Structure 1
Amino acid sequence: MTILVTGATGHVGRHVVSQLAARGERVRAMSRNPATAGVPAGVEVVGGDLLDVPSVTRALAGAHRLYLFPEPRTAVEVVAAAVRAGVRRIVTLSSGAVTGGLDTDFQLPVEQAVEASGCEWTHLRPGEFASNTLRLWGPSIRAERVVRHHQPDWRGLPTHEADIAAVGVEALLGEGHHGRAYDLTGPHRLSAREQARLIGEALGEPIRVETVTAEQSRRILRAQGGWAAENADFLTGFESYSPSDVPEFTAEEWDRMLEPLPTVERVLGRPAHTFARWATDHAKDFR
């Protein structure tokens, strides 16, 4: 059985690849830059881009199962190509924002295309990625050992990307996951201040936290470029998540939505990894 992993070099996808390979599965990793994919020995690497449907069609040849990174612009065509290739099970990387009704135009169309395909399907709906701290704070921690944040005491549920991948691998290989949308969170609510402290402990050096205005925070993120710049307006409250027809939530409703969920432990039979574990795993990335 061949499993095609799209987004194979992403924060979650690379763990999906390595965990499948560790279990002895035949893995095909699709990357826009196969020469620099850096996959484990024995993993087949193919070139492909979800915006280039013919390239995905070639990558799908002979595949039986598919881990699908979200790309709504070509989701219908990519899923149709998967069905033609003989894929019968698809696991999608989605978002908890779909569950909350906050996402109607990005992950949701991908989920809908998969559900309409006739394949067995499972959706992974993580909330806050712990790896976002690396993309947002990595430059300032590496340069100054400081985190600048406009809401340092707001508490989220950072989730280790290895846990997201492990649930996806279980859905790709195991039984009883068809038709499930798994909302995934980390095990503890932590503020930015607490996360910075745990990163500092992993580094063996204190991380200073500075409170800045939302506008200052937006300028900092825009100056970093890449993912941080692309999401600066949303992350600092200057832009809503989705169009104006999404639900409005009170502070109490938001608080209830940010309770840790037991999904990771229920699916995997072990507790979800803590943020302290994540910080230790990524300490070298902050040096």
Structure 2
Amino acid sequence: MTTLVTGARGQIGRAVLTTLHARGLPVRAASKDPSALDLPAGIEATTLPEDLESLTAALKDVRQVFLYANPAAAGTFAQAAAAAGVEHVVLLSSSAVNDPNAAANPIGASHLAVENALAAVNLATTTLRPGGFDSNAFGWIAAVSAGEPIQHAYPDAALAMIHPLDIADIAVAALTGDELRGRTVTLTGPAAISFRAQIGHLAEAVGREIPITTITPAEAEAQMSGTMPPYIVNALLQTWARTTDQPETPADTTETLLGVPARTFAQWARENAPAFGAA
């Protein structure tokens, strides 16, 4: 039973792909640019066509899919998957869908559209809704590498960030077993951790102090608007303001779902310290 893994260049998709392959399970990798993939021997790389007929043909013999949410192609994919006989999709969605007003929130709405498209064709779907990723800290690389302070409007905001490989492990469990099949689960890390504490763990991992400068929300908005659309900037600032006084409550983790301790941010920092200039 071949499993198609989309987003195979991303850390989560890559981990799902290599784990399934290491277990001797037939897998196929999908990417917008298959030629850029560096895959283990024996894994076929493909791209997914955009039209219904070609996509249906491309999904022939595929029985499961690990799917990154793409609202622009969700309807076509869902129809093609159902027509091709795909039996199960594990969807990487977002905890933004949990918002009662998700349909009015651009982040929540885009993921909700994919969930609804799959539901419309009655395709068995396991939906993973993670919150913030530990790897969001890569955004601090430039400041840390340059020895500059990290500027943040809400350094004491505390979110239950999740290690990307925890998501991959849960996805693999959903693709290889029955316990998670068909469920919708909100995923987090083991505990809420403030940005100040994250920076402390990162400083320990790289072996030098990383100073923090508190800036105003308006200054943060101006900085973030250079690389993010306004709706994401607003959503982040609102979340950080709320979780400064009310830390995020952890949801399901690898501990609750798989019986395996969830990876911590401190572990992520140690694993990725070289990217921040550690020797």
TM bin (shorter chain): 0.7 to 0.9
**Alignment match, 1:264:** 254
- Residue type of the partner of 1:115? A
State the percentage of identical aligned residues. Answer: 37
Q: Is the 8 A contact 1:17 1:39 kept in 2?
A: no
**Alignment match, 1:21:** 21
Aligned mates of 1:279, 1:187 — CA distance in 2: 15
What SS does the aligned partner of 1:176 have?
coil
**Alignment match, 1:87:** 86
Number of matched pairs? 270
Deviation at 1:57, TM superposition (A): 4.0
Q: 1:102 to 1:18 in 2, by over 3 A?
A: farther
Aligned mates of 1:9, 1:52 — CA distance in 2: 23
**Alignment match, 2:182:** 179
**Alignment match, 2:34:** 34
Aligned mates of 1:17, 1:230 — CA distance in 2: 32
What SS does the aligned partner of 1:284 have?
helix
**Alignment match, 2:235:** 234
**Alignment match, 1:247:** none
Deviation at 1:235, TM superposition (A): 2.6
Aligned mates of 1:28, 1:230 — CA distance in 2: 35
Aligned mates of 2:188, 2:101 — CA distance in 1: 17
Q: Is the 8 A contact 2:3 2:64 kept in 1?
A: yes
**Alignment match, 2:106:** none
Q: 1:102 to 1:129 in 2, by over 3 A?
A: farther
What SS does the aligned partner of 1:236 have?
helix
Deviations 1:140-166 (A, max 9, x none): 222235311110011111100100111
Q: 1:229 to 1:53 in 2, by over 3 A?
A: farther
**Alignment match, 1:209:** 212
Q: 1:57 to 1:209 in 2, by over 3 A?
A: farther
Q: 1:52 to 1:156 in 2, by over 3 A?
A: farther
Aligned mates of 1:30, 1:42 — CA distance in 2: 14
**Alignment match, 2:132:** 128
Q: Is 1:65 matched with 2:64? A: yes
Aligned mates of 1:132, 1:112 — CA distance in 2: 27
Deviation at 1:112, TM superposition (A): 1.6
Aligned mates of 2:136, 2:51 — CA distance in 1: 27
Deviation at 1:274, TM superposition (A): 0.6
Q: Is the 8 A contact 1:199 1:279 kept in 2?
A: yes
Q: 1:56 to 1:276 in 2, by over 3 A?
A: farther
Q: Is the 8 A contact 2:63 2:85 kept in 1?
A: yes
**Alignment match, 2:111:** 107
Gaps of 5+ in 2: 104-108
Q: 1:172 to 1:211 in 2, by over 3 A?
A: same
Deviation at 1:262, TM superposition (A): 4.1
Aligned mates of 1:189, 1:182 — CA distance in 2: 18
Q: Is the 8 A contact 1:15 1:161 kept in 2?
A: no
- Residue type of the partner of 2:275? D
Aligned mates of 1:53, 1:193 — CA distance in 2: 48
- Residue type of the partner of 2:3? I
Deviation at 1:27, TM superposition (A): 1.5
Q: Is the 8 A contact 2:186 2:252 kept in 1?
A: no
- TM-score normalised by L of structure 2: 0.87
Deviations 1:103-138 (A, max 9, x none): 32211121122223233211001111111121x322
Aligned mates of 1:42, 1:200 — CA distance in 2: 40
Q: Is 1:281 matched with 2:271? A: yes
Aligned mates of 1:228, 1:133 — CA distance in 2: 19
Deviations 1:43-73 (A, max 9, x none): 2211237x66666445423211011111112
Gaps of 5+ in 1: 241-249
Q: 1:10 to 1:102 in 2, by over 3 A?
A: farther
What SS does the aligned partner of 1:206 have?
coil
Q: Is 1:116 matched with 2:120? A: yes
What SS does the aligned partner of 2:30 have?
strand
- Residue type of the partner of 2:119? E
Q: Is the 8 A contact 2:189 2:253 kept in 1?
A: no
Deviation at 1:169, TM superposition (A): 1.0
Q: 1:82 to 1:268 in 2, by over 3 A?
A: same
Q: 1:228 to 1:164 in 2, by over 3 A?
A: farther
Q: 1:272 to 1:78 in 2, by over 3 A?
A: same
Which range moved further: 118-127 or 31-40? 31-40
